[in-house]
Structure 1
Amino acid sequence: MSKIEDIVDALENKISKILHKQEALKQANIKLSNEIEQQQLKLKKQEEEIADWVDKHNTLKMANSILGSDENKRETKLKINALIRDIDHCIGQLSE
C-alpha cells in the first residue's frame, strides 16, 4: 500500500510544481503584455514626434526658399506654379 501512497504523493508534488510554474508563467505573461503595451505607446508617440519634425523641416525648407535660398528655389517655383494653376482652375469654375 505504501507504493501507491508514494506514487500519489509524487504525483501531488509534481502537480503542485506544475501549478506553481503555470502561475509564474501567467504572471510573466502579464508583465510582458504590459511592457509590450508601454512600448507600443512609446513607439506611437515617437512616430508622432517624427511626423511633427518632418512637417517642421518641410516648412523650414519652404521658408528658406521663399527668403531667397538658392538651395530649394526650383522646388518652391514648382509649388507656386501648382498653386497658381489651382487658383486659375477655381476661377475658371466660378466663371462658368
Structure 2
Amino acid sequence: MNELSKIIDSLEVKFFKMSKKLENLEKVNTELTQELTMIRDEMQQKNEKIRLLQNELESLKITNSLLGSEEYKKETKLKINALIREIDYCIAQLSD
C-alpha cells in the first residue's frame, strides 16, 4: 500500500507541474497572439503609408516634369496620352 501511495503522490506532483506548465503556455500564447495582432495592425498602417507616399511621389514626378524637368517628361507624356485615350474611349461610348 505504501508504494501505491508514493505513486499517487508522484502523479499528483506531476499533475500539478503539468497544470502550471499549461497555465504558463496559455499565458504565453495569449501574449504572442496580442503581439501578432499588434504587429499586423502596424504593418497594415505602414503599407498604407507606403501606398500614400508612392502616390505622392508619382504626383511630384508629374509636377516636376510639367515645370520643365527633363527627367520625367517622357513618363508624363505617356501618362497624359493614356488619359487622353481613356477620355476618347469614354466619349466614344457615350456617342454610341
Give the Cα–Cα distance (whole angstroms) in 2 for the partners of residues 95 and 34 of structure 1.
57
- Shift of residue 84 of structure 1? 2.4
Q: Which residue of the partner structure matches residue 67 of structure 1? A: 67
User: Which ranges of structure 2 fall in alignment gaps of 5 or more residues?
Assistant: none
User: Which ranges of structure 1 fall in alignment gaps of 5 or more residues?
Assistant: none
Secondary structure (helix, strand or coil) at the match of 1:71 reads: coil
- AA aligned opposite 2:72: N
Q: Which moved more, 1:24-33 or 1:82-91?
A: 82-91
- Shift of residue 9 of structure 1? 0.5
- Shift of residue 26 of structure 1? 0.5
What is the TM-score when the length of structure 1 is the normalising length?
Answer: 0.90
> How many residue pairs get matched?
96
Q: Which residue of the partner structure matches residue 83 of structure 1? A: 83
Percent identity of equivalent pairs: 44
- Shift of residue 51 of structure 1? 0.5
- AA aligned opposite 1:69: S
What is the TM-score when the length of structure 2 is the normalising length?
Answer: 0.90
Q: Which residue of the partner structure matches residue 51 of structure 1? A: 51
Q: Which residue of the partner structure matches residue 6 of structure 1? A: 6
- Shift of residue 83 of structure 1? 2.3
Deviation string, structure 1 residues 21-63 (Cα, Å, up to 9, x no partner): 1111001100000000000000000000111110110000010
- AA aligned opposite 2:81: N
Over aligned residue pairs, what C-alpha RMSD do you find?
1.4
Distance change (3 Å), C-alpha of 1:25 and 1:94: closer
Q: Which residue of the partner structure matches residue 29 of structure 2? A: 29
